[in-house]
């Protein structure tokens, strides 16, 4: 498949995050960006976010209860 070069300007922090993530995935920055675009266009990203939202809607109380049990009682002092 023929390739076309695209240009995008992003801030230094975002560029660093993208480079680090591409490296973690053992992808070039170009392949990483291409994969992000494919996931977005195919709806994969949206379906993943929707599944996460449904999961949290159904199970948020479990996380809330776990967090509440880890909080020190009011007036308790740290050792």
Tokens found for residue 10: 């992003």
Please report whether residue 44 resides in a domain.
yes
Please report whether residue 28 resides in a domain.
yes
Please report whether residue 5 resides in a domain.
no
Please report whether residue 6 resides in a domain.
no
In whole angstroms, how far apart are CA 14 and each of 20, 23, 36, 66? 10, 14, 14, 33
The predicted model scores a pTM of 0.57
Please report whether residue 7 resides in a domain.
no
Q: Give 73's DSSP letter.
A: P
pLDDT-wise least confident of 7-11, 14-18, 47-51, 67-71 = 67-71
| Predicted local distance difference test score (pLDDT) of residue 55 | 94
Q: What is the pLDDT of residues 5-44, one digit of tens each?
A: 888 899 999 999 999 999 999 999 999 999 999 988 888 8
Tokens found for residue 74: 């009011």
């Amino acid at each position: 498949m023929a390739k076309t070069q695209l240009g995008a300007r992003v801030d230094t922090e975002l560029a660093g995050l993208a480079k680090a993530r591409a490296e973690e995935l053992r992808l070039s920055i170009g392949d990483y960006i291409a994969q992000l675009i494919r996931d977005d266009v195919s709806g994969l990203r949206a379906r993943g976010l929707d599944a996460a939202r449904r999961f949290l809607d159904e199970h948020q109380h479990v996380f809330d209860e776990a967090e509440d049990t880890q909080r020190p009682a009011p007036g308790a002092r740290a050792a």
